[in-house]
Amino acid sequence: MALGIEQLDDFVNSYLQKYIMGKWQDISLPLQQYYFASRLFDKAKKEEMFGSLCKWKIKVRNPDNFQVVGLYHRDSSNRVNMIDEGEMKWAMTTTNYHYDIDEEVFGQGCEQIVNYIKLREDSMMDSFFAGMEDLMFGTGPSSPTQSPNPPASLLHWITANMTDTTSNNATEGFTGVEPYGFSSVGVGGISTTDYPAWKNRAFPYAAVTHEDFVKKIIRSMDLCEFTPPIARPDIAPSRPDWELLTTLSRVEECRDLLQAGNDNIGKDLATYQNTVLIRGVPMVQVPAWQSSASINKRTDGIVLGVNWPTFKWFYKSGRSQRKRAPFQHPEMSNVRVRCMDDTGQIVCFNRRANFRGYCTSTVTEPA
């Protein structure tokens, strides 16, 4: 049964989910994996908060009332403000699709109409997750006053900056300060000058060798308490909490280290054919940093030690993937537009639990 023109918009808005959809092969997305969708987005357990800013609490100090005492000791007690507050601007995004009510498919049966519209609904969601992936693995906001303000990225939270002069200038240690240009406002509104424990770990390396690369990663794992509870993440019931995110050239060179029979690494890098492991933590290449189709392709041989439980995606209350009813295009009377708006922010609760390495020379990635 065909739908009348006056019924179409209401059908799209209200009844689409009630029908069984057809199937199609999707080759539209350029990347093999989307981390925002798999790691931070959880439709079943949405984290929402009210307010004009995304805010969270961080414990920054203790009263330090411990004392060594003797007979007739006079007690002393200090009271301090133990909590500080992180804050970030909300990031607003939107995506949409449109259709013409005179298109031939709308004169056909409900199943054909549903398949046609469902394809566009799915495409709208693909557009959202692809866009968020670009933002999540990009550099993040360019300045504290950028408008419109994008979500923070992993690289905004986990820096290789020792000063506010340029990126990738850190020495080995807990030297990851604010992103370039953010020293005046801090990371998430918290200053690494005021609170040195808010710095992440960073290190430079010149080549993928045991001494210069693997050993620095292991040292960072030790000092960031980057130790998985099991040695083999491939037998875990879910994805591991820790990952070493990098590019394909780094993974391939680590496989070559194993292939060369380096006894210092031994079985820790698994097998040449399978997942590369360092101390049981998988090293995986990030398509968003690797693909020539990505705006975030890297040339600095990045390796990011990510402790995923320290990250969370917060929604502004009532603004989670808010879909609007189709409305008439202002310049095309027969065209309807369906939009989805979203407001949220990526938050890191413990920068010190994460680390970042970078190569001191330019790295050319495999095509």
Q: What is the pLDDT of residues 9-31, one digit of tens each?
A: 666 665 555 444 444 445 456 66
- Banded model confidence at residue 253, pLDDT cuts 50, 70, 90: very high
DSSP assignments along 66-85, one per residue:
-----TTPPP-------EEE
Q: Nearest to residue 61, comparing CAs of 34, 41, 84? A: 84
Query: C-alpha distances in angstroms, 155 versus 34, 202, 342?
Result: 16, 12, 22
Would you say how long the chain is, in residues?
A: 367
pLDDT at 190: 94
Query: C-alpha distances in angstroms, 283 versus 163, 290, 314, 320, 321?
Result: 28, 14, 27, 32, 32
Cα–Cα distance for residue pair 203/240, rounded to 1 Å: 23
pTM to 2 decimal places: 0.84
pLDDT at 297: 92
- Banded model confidence at residue 88, pLDDT cuts 50, 70, 90: very high
Q: What is the pLDDT of residues 202-224, one digit of tens each?
A: 999 999 999 999 999 999 999 99
